[in-house]
Amino acid sequence: MAQLFADRRDIDFVIWEQMKGEDALKNGQNNGFNRKTCELMINEARKLAINEVYPTMKDGDHIGVRFENGVVRVPDSYHKPFGILKEGEWGNLTVPEVMGGQGAPSFVGDAVSEYFMGANWSLYSYLTMGNGAAHMIELYGTPEQKEKYVKNLVAGRWGGTMLLTEPAAGSDVGALETSAVKNEDGTYTLTGNKIFITNGEFDLVENIIHPVLARIEGAPAGTRGISIFIVPKYFVNDDGSLGEPNDIVCTGVEEKMGIHGSATCSMALGGKGRCIGYLLGQENQGMKVMFHMMNGARMHTGLQGLAYASSAYLLAVNYARQRIQGRDLASFADHSAPSVPIIKHPDVRRNLLKMKSYVEGMRSFYHYTTQIGLKATHSEKEEDRVFYDDLYSLFTPVIKDYLAVRGHEVCIQAIQTYGGAGYTQDYPVEQYARDCKIASIYEGTSGIQAMDLLARKIGKQNGKIFATFIAEILKSVNDAKQHEGLKDLAGRVESAAYHLGKVAAHLGKSASSEKFKTAFSHSHPFLEGMGDTIMAWMLLWRSTIASQMLSRGANDKDRKFYEGQIKTAEFYIRTLLPSTLGSMDAILDGCGAAVEIDDDAFGGL
């Protein structure tokens, strides 16, 4: 059976039934797009993912990238599908038309990305990473910089990166040592070394544009003194042609646990003393500029986790339908009874339904959050834009980490469904698990996201933003209570929402007290608890829509889908959510052992 990557029926449900995509198309932001054109684009992306991109996934893993004489070469099989995707402009669907993109609705871009990421994330990332650099230049660049760089980045003719991490400056960006000296012509000479640079060098494009964080001579210490520079691999002449190579080179690539087809590079700037960079924005404003790219990167990392999880789950559920092993439990004593597909065994069904609940809940949460992001951009009133931007920023660390962590867990459980076969390289689920693990690490680890949530997000606007989030859950609870069969589930989600609010208040107060270290030791369990509660909310919301549609009558295929939504919500809310409530109680208990234990008491001396 062909790999599916994402359940098309579920994508349609989220886009058109849950998120009311047709209403979004009527608001004037996406001229020229209607439901039919959107569906055609998603259909075509699915075909390309299956027929062109997925066949390269194993090469990406087994062959990987090769570092030869300063050049990073991707697997040969990458070149043809990369060209097809580039020519078809699949990398810039949602980029505004003014930047050279297609201006498609965000939900189309998200659905398309889910297919391509599931088919081979490393190949797709070579095409799309330039968009982040282009957006920063569009927002903060001079007219000349925009003219030189933006459209080539968006078109995929040039690649883009983000040079942030250094050997002594990972999560602590303020410790970076890359330096910049201003030249008489207004350019800057950069010197330094960067590590873990995704797509820092590869052979699919003509040029690579590197946004680089560095400190100008005499600038303040820490993040306050960081600036950002445009550093092209090849200089770009005024007529748009490529000039001489800049003094920025790849010195090696990392051998990683997964995503072997992705070039993770070490980069040296100014080895010959001639690395030239162009200031982007104002001096000492580099972090402000960079976070416009970082927030988008964190959202897409969450989507990466979802794409892997969805792909692994669909492989597992279809394998369970085909793998014949063991008698049905009802006929276990009858040794003459035929063996059955493993999907008939209760524990396999439990495992599959757990995976299904996470995948579908995460998909709904991702699309919901992107809608909030659009409101932050397009609302008419300034106060509304600020409000939705703060709500979007509340959800961003949860999207990034929760979808990455739970996505990896789904991949692990997909291996479990296969049994010993899943642990071999004969099946792709083990690659999905290895590839997915990085999502909880790069673009800010789990701990970084949790600290950001506690320190900066839950207290936004004196708690108004978090209170609005809880109120949105309660609206869905009230809608569900209108359906007799959902009242019990609604009541359970209501209790969880109130409990989450109580824990947030407790943790916020503790973070402002002398017990602040203890509070932060519980920040990641809180992020997980918030994510778990959001899953319950999304699944209850889904079941409410399903109940409405069933009451109106549905064909046999749709009836099974909608009944499946209600059963999925029932399973999650009644069997998984109670564990979350226990974890919340542990946060309220305030155990300080993690910060009180002596360093030497950890052992290993």
Domain CATH number, residue 192:
2.40.110.20
What confidence category does residue 487 fall into, taking pLDDT thresholds of 50, 70 and 90? very high
Q: Dig out the tokens for 100 from the structure.
A: 């050279």
Reply yes or no on whether the pLDDT at 404 is more than 90: yes
For position 556, what pLDDT does the model report? 84
Cα–Cα distance, 465 to 18 (Å, whole number):
22
What confidence category does residue 545 fall into, taking pLDDT thresholds of 50, 70 and 90? very high
Cα–Cα distance, 363 to 254 (Å, whole number):
31
| Residue 216 CB partners (closer than 8 Å, separation 6+) | 179, 180, 181, 182, 188, 225, 227, 283, 284
Q: Dig out the tokens for 63 from the structure.
A: 């062959």
DSSP helix/strand/coil, 200: coil
pLDDT averaged over the chain? 95
Q: Within 10 Å of residue 268's Cβ, how many Cβ atoms?
A: 17
What confidence category does residue 168 fall into, taking pLDDT thresholds of 50, 70 and 90? confident
Percent of the chain with pLDDT over 70: 99
544 or 377, greater pLDDT: 544
Cβ contact 528:583 at 8 Å: yes
Residue with tokens 């002594």: 168
Please indicate, yes or no, whether residues 589 and 461 belong to a single structural domain of this protein.
yes
Judged by phi (left if over 0) then psi (alpha if -120 to 50, else beta), residue 230 lies in beta
What confidence category does residue 230 fall into, taking pLDDT thresholds of 50, 70 and 90? very high
Beta strand pairing status for 66-68 and 71-73? antiparallel
Please indicate, yes or no, whether residues 161 and 212 belong to a single structural domain of this protein.
yes
How wide is the angle at C-alpha 140 spanned by C-alphas 376 and 186, nearest 5°?
170
Please indicate, yes or no, whether residues 399 and 515 belong to a single structural domain of this protein.
no
- Look at residues 410, 444, 478 and tell me which one is the last residue of a structural domain: 444
Sign of CA dihedral 555, 556, 560, 561: negative
How wide is the angle at C-alpha 305 spanned by C-alphas 303 and 310, nearest 5°?
90
For position 322, what pLDDT does the model report? 96
What secondary structure, in 3-state letters, does 84-142 show? Answer: HHHHCCCCCCCCCHHHCCCCCCHHHHHHHHHHHHHHHHHHHHHHHCHHHHHHHHHHHCC
Does some domain include residue 99? Answer: yes
Cα–Cα distance, 575 to 385 (Å, whole number):
38
Percent of the chain with pLDDT over 90: 91
- Look at residues 426, 444, 462 and tell me which one is the last residue of a structural domain: 444
Length of the chain: 605
Reply yes or no on whether the pLDDT at 86 is more than 90: yes
Q: By mean pLDDT, which of 16-30, 368-382, 486-500 is the weakest?
A: 16-30
Mean predicted confidence (pLDDT) in 296-319: 96
Does some domain include residue 2? Answer: no
Does some domain include residue 123? Answer: yes
Does some domain include residue 137? Answer: no
Does some domain include residue 69? Answer: no
Reply yes or no on whether the pLDDT at 82 is more than 60: yes
Does some domain include residue 325? Answer: yes
Reply yes or no on whether the pLDDT at 214 is more than 90: yes
Does some domain include residue 602? Answer: no
Reply yes or no on whether the pLDDT at 30 is more than 90: no
Please indicate, yes or no, whether residues 308 and 340 belong to a single structural domain of this protein.
yes
What confidence category does residue 2 fall into, taking pLDDT thresholds of 50, 70 and 90? low
Please indicate, yes or no, whether residues 294 and 437 belong to a single structural domain of this protein.
yes
For position 233, what pLDDT does the model report? 98
Per the structure, the count of domains in the chain is: 4
Residue with tokens 């027929």: 51
Beta strand pairing status for 179-182 and 339-341? unpaired
For position 52, what pLDDT does the model report? 97
Over the stretch 248-292, which tens digit does the pLDDT of each residue have? 999 999 999 999 999 999 999 999 999 999 999 999 999 999 887
Reply yes or no on whether the pLDDT at 294 is more than 90: no
Reply yes or no on whether the pLDDT at 28 is more than 70: no
For position 26, what pLDDT does the model report? 84
Does some domain include residue 119? Answer: yes
Cα–Cα distance, 465 to 418 (Å, whole number):
43
Reply yes or no on whether the pLDDT at 98 is more than 70: yes
Reply yes or no on whether the pLDDT at 29 is more than 70: no
Please indicate, yes or no, whether residues 23 and 81 belong to a single structural domain of this protein.
yes
Cβ contact 466:501 at 8 Å: yes
Identify the domain containing residue 589 by its residue range.
454-597
Mean predicted confidence (pLDDT) in 306-319: 97
The model's pTM is 0.96
Q: By mean pLDDT, which of 148-152, 206-210, 293-297, 527-531 is the weakest?
A: 293-297
Domain CATH number, residue 325:
1.20.140.10
Q: What is the phi/psi pair of residue 56, to 5°? A: -95, -10
For position 265, what pLDDT does the model report? 97
Q: What is the phi/psi pair of residue 278, to 5°? A: -120, 125
Which residues does the annotation mark as catalytic? Answer: 443
CA–centroid distance for 15 within its chain:
18
Please indicate, yes or no, whether residues 559 and 436 belong to a single structural domain of this protein.
no
- Look at residues 236, 266, 284 and tell me which one is the last residue of a structural domain: 284
Please indicate, yes or no, whether residues 192 and 48 belong to a single structural domain of this protein.
no
Domain CATH number, residue 91:
1.10.540.10
Reply yes or no on whether the pLDDT at 17 is more than 70: yes
Mean predicted confidence (pLDDT) in 395-416: 98
Cα–Cα distance, 116 to 337 (Å, whole number):
43
Cα–Cα distance, 457 to 168 (Å, whole number):
27
Helix, strand, coil percentages (3-state) for the chain, rounded to 5, are 65, 10, 25
Mean predicted confidence (pLDDT) in 513-542: 97
| Residue 599 CB partners (closer than 8 Å, separation 6+) | none
Please indicate, yes or no, whether residues 199 and 116 belong to a single structural domain of this protein.
no
572 or 3, greater pLDDT: 572
Over the stretch 67-79, which tens digit does the pLDDT of each residue have? 998 999 999 999 9
Please indicate, yes or no, whether residues 437 and 523 belong to a single structural domain of this protein.
no
How wide is the angle at C-alpha 129 spanned by C-alphas 276 and 206, nearest 5°?
55
Please indicate, yes or no, whether residues 275 and 305 belong to a single structural domain of this protein.
no
DSSP helix/strand/coil, 494: helix
Reply yes or no on whether the pLDDT at 205 is more than 70: yes
Q: For residue 105, which of 35, 156, 45 has the smallest C-alpha distance?
A: 35
DSSP string over 496-565: HHHHHHHHHHHHHHHHTSTTHHHHHHTHHHHHHHHHHHHHHHHHHHHHHHHHHHHHT---HHHHHHHHHH
Please indicate, yes or no, whether residues 435 and 301 belong to a single structural domain of this protein.
yes
